[in-house]
Structure 1
């Protein structure tokens, strides 16, 4: 699948910054699923395909064919390189395979874009998820006479059985035998003679040194471009000096610089005539640089977004929200780091399926062992989202009453009235009944007065009028809810219920108002009536026939 996407990008000239960023990010996310799919296909193949003898040229897989051809042309052994070509073209069998291999090398040196080695399938069946027939494999693109075509491999039957992958005959038929390398290629014209004659890995040493020099120049050019763009943006748009705009621009500067450097390196190496053998070796490096640029961009955007959110939460004094933001930032960075390492290892050719399986099993075990931790985290998210409490609120949670001191990722701490600290896990906290006294807009004032039995009806009415006047005269009493009524005649008193709301949200102020009202009501009951009823016990003694008595108590 990776090779199909990359080849499509090459053939349609889509390797520009926007598309490449999307491509790298998409492939990063798709790595686990694709690796798992490839592992399944490999297991199936291994289960049904018989064992063939090893091919001495390593042509059993598409990757082996590409690597073998590169080694052969690097050694200038074109007779051996011809063994990696399907010379039976539609026009007829090509007799001079060595000349054809040399012509293909010149074409690849001048006008080609090939997949990185690790992106080429290393299974005998090839990549079964691309849009090609099962016996075809795309490994790059080339250009002849302003016409771009795919570089294809095709699967053939080996003499000893089993598949043999060769450069497809339809690709060979498009390679012009008379193509010549540029006589004035820049890299050849500026290199000293000893760097041209000295060969490293079958390639002139000057090509390797020139590639390193081009990488440095590409980075300097990219730095100049990004610095100029940043200066122009800052000059035109004054708002860039303020946060968060400055933070977002700074987040883009270095990643864009790295990506531009990788893009310039690829383009300059092709234009200056660097051997495709060297470019093939550096292709994985450029992809890794592009991936690092994308990861770095996302990393910096996470920092910019979280810093902006953190400042807003500080302004709102939402300390619990800051804890959530910091936790999410750490989680996002760990995820970016893990995906980046997986993609880099896969690009370098390492088998990451075993590691992913181990991570999956370890993740399941960790999830089972951290159920309470996850529950507490979900509880903290619920507390932040619903905000039933905030730091500084006086509340009652279950049987615990106190002031909220901290809402953390795992637990919430309350300072009780006895000055002790109670820590409640957020999972339990969010599932209990929470009574928040801090949001109370008024206080209920509803005492029950007990009058004596010998209070006359006229005195009761006088007491009721005095109590009502006391309530209505107070400026802090809600007039619409205030009422005083004789509600019940009990066995030992006459009950008068007072109901009203004190218009204040301050606890100490309502205590002061309540105290004044109670004193006024005591005075009204004592002056207008007979006073308050007190609990009285009466002892009744009776004699039975034996002279023994039973004692009974009666409350008056």
Structure 2
């Protein structure tokens, strides 16, 4: 039977520089880590869930689910790191002890960054839920910008802290980057202008995701507002990415804002040119007839301004200006109203025996005087 002295001597026996006592203790820590981590995490999570049940909010359950995987990996990594720390760690020819410490610190920082990124995903879900409420001040288009900013902040901060723990001088790195600051600033000019453009869109809120907007070179429904560009789905179902700095510096019409006031309309503006053969009485009758067409057409919104006037003596026509609104902003319905009104105008002008003018030029030729009257002779 082994005595306590014999057991003590046995534990001191070493193989390759590792004693039996150190090996057994390291193995015990690994065993407890693998078998107890789920029990520890499960107990901790259940405690948090009991508190969450008393809360009126729903996002706390999402937080609990977000932190569980990183905590499980953290306990496992810490157990492995502690088991390795118990074993002898030579400092020559390679400083294993320092290497193990650095690896442990970096691993903890990476797990912390992972945890924060998972929490940012929870924030993203909460922000989108709040923004979906039309009564809330948050806009759905701001949600991706908020979460993207938080993710960038977490990643940059984590990289800086990890670099410091690896022995790099962050201040020296920033100073060295200053040497190429001018080149970087020049290369990132468009990126920065797009970033400021997205900030202006967030602050001014000229439109939001789902709005129908129209500019000089684009028209469609906003699908996404990003850091660099705004994605628009055109009526031809193609996708256009418009740089935010361009949108911030041009005139943008928000066609859906009319719905906020109960006006789901679209403007129609045209000029009808009548030939110069028309008399004043015919022009007066034509203007009255066109007004009656717009007044009686079911597709013309009578709540909006309607104008019909003989306005100009054009280069080739007598111009009648028409200004009115269709009672639908839907593209196909708007075109149907416009076509119907155009056909009614053509029929009415035919009825009044008026013709629509087209660009033309009159050339007047005067007869030349004969040679005798001009005083010229054939020999001259």
Do the structures match in fold with TM over 0.5? yes
Aligned with 2:362 (options 537, 540, 544): 537
Q: Distance in 1 between matches of 2:133 and 2:5?
A: 62
Q: Distance in 1 between matches of 2:228 and 2:51?
A: 47
Matched, 1:378 2:195: yes
- Displacement after TM superposition at 1:328 (Å): 4.4
Bigger shift: residues 379-388 or 318-327: 318-327
Aligned with 1:305 (options 100, 117, 123): 123
SS of corresponding position for 2:325:
strand
Residues 532 and 284 of structure 1: CA distance in aligned 2, closer, same or farther (over 3 Å):
closer
Residues 540 and 389 of structure 1: CA distance in aligned 2, closer, same or farther (over 3 Å):
farther
Work out whether residues 393 and 438 of structure 1, in 8 Å CA contact, stay in contact via their aligned partners in 2: yes
- Displacement after TM superposition at 1:325 (Å): 6.9
Which residue in the other structure is 1:342 paired with? 163
- Displacement after TM superposition at 1:520 (Å): 2.2
- Displacement after TM superposition at 1:526 (Å): 3.7
Work out whether residues 275 and 316 of structure 2, in 8 Å CA contact, stay in contact via their aligned partners in 1: no
Aligned with 1:503 (options 304, 322, 327): 327
Q: Distance in 2 between matches of 1:486 and 1:432?
A: 33
Work out whether residues 452 and 493 of structure 1, in 8 Å CA contact, stay in contact via their aligned partners in 2: yes
SS of corresponding position for 1:447:
strand
* TM-align CA RMSD: 5.6
Deviations 1:301-340 (A, max 9, x none): 1343346667889999x99878757854763453254145
SS of corresponding position for 2:328:
coil
Residue pairs, 1:92-491, within 5 angstroms: 192-194=7-9, 206=21, 210=25, 213=28, 217=32, 223-234=38-49, 237=52, 244-253=59-68, 294-306=112-124, 324=145, 327-328=148-149, 331-332=152-153, 334-342=155-163, 344-345=165-166, 351-353=167-169, 357-358=172-173, 360-362=175-177, 365=180, 367-368=184-185, 370-372=187-189, 374-375=191-192, 378=195, 381-382=198-199, 385=202, 386=205, 388=207, 393=212, 395-397=214-216, 400-401=217-218, 403=220, 410=228, 425-434=243-252, 441-449=264-272, 450=274, 452=276, 455=279, 457=281, 459-480=282-303, 481-488=305-312
SS of corresponding position for 2:364:
strand
Q: Distance in 2 between matches of 1:547 and 1:491?
A: 40
Work out whether residues 320 and 384 of structure 1, in 8 Å CA contact, stay in contact via their aligned partners in 2: no
Q: Distance in 1 between matches of 2:339 and 2:254?
A: 24
Q: Distance in 1 between matches of 2:189 and 2:199?
A: 15
Q: Distance in 2 between matches of 1:258 and 1:220?
A: 13
Q: Distance in 2 between matches of 1:377 and 1:191?
A: 76
Q: Distance in 1 between matches of 2:280 and 2:211?
A: 51
Residues 403 and 546 of structure 1: CA distance in aligned 2, closer, same or farther (over 3 Å):
farther
Deviations 1:454-499 (A, max 9, x none): 5353x55543433222221122223351233344567876543333
Q: Distance in 1 between matches of 2:190 and 2:323?
A: 47
Work out whether residues 445 and 502 of structure 1, in 8 Å CA contact, stay in contact via their aligned partners in 2: yes
Work out whether residues 37 and 75 of structure 2, in 8 Å CA contact, stay in contact via their aligned partners in 1: yes
- Displacement after TM superposition at 1:505 (Å): 0.2
- Displacement after TM superposition at 1:225 (Å): 3.7
Q: Distance in 2 between matches of 1:512 and 1:261?
A: 69
Deviations 1:46-84 (A, max 9, x none): xxxxxxxxxxxxxxxxxxxxxxxxxxxxxxxxxxxxxxx
- Displacement after TM superposition at 1:371 (Å): 0.9
Residues 365 and 548 of structure 1: CA distance in aligned 2, closer, same or farther (over 3 Å):
farther
Deviations 1:362-420 (A, max 9, x none): 477484464146336516734863464758957445xx346579766555677889999
- Displacement after TM superposition at 1:539 (Å): 0.8
SS of corresponding position for 2:301:
coil
Residues 209 and 295 of structure 1: CA distance in aligned 2, closer, same or farther (over 3 Å):
farther
Q: Distance in 2 between matches of 1:301 and 1:191?
A: 54
TM-score, length-scaled by structure 1: 0.44
Q: Structure 1, unaligned stretches of length 5 or more?
A: 1-188, 265-279, 346-350, 550-556
Q: Structure 2, unaligned stretches of length 5 or more?
A: 80-96, 259-263, 375-380
Work out whether residues 412 and 424 of structure 1, in 8 Å CA contact, stay in contact via their aligned partners in 2: yes
Residues 493 and 255 of structure 1: CA distance in aligned 2, closer, same or farther (over 3 Å):
closer
Number of equivalences = 334
Q: Distance in 2 between matches of 1:466 and 1:404?
A: 38
Work out whether residues 239 and 245 of structure 1, in 8 Å CA contact, stay in contact via their aligned partners in 2: no
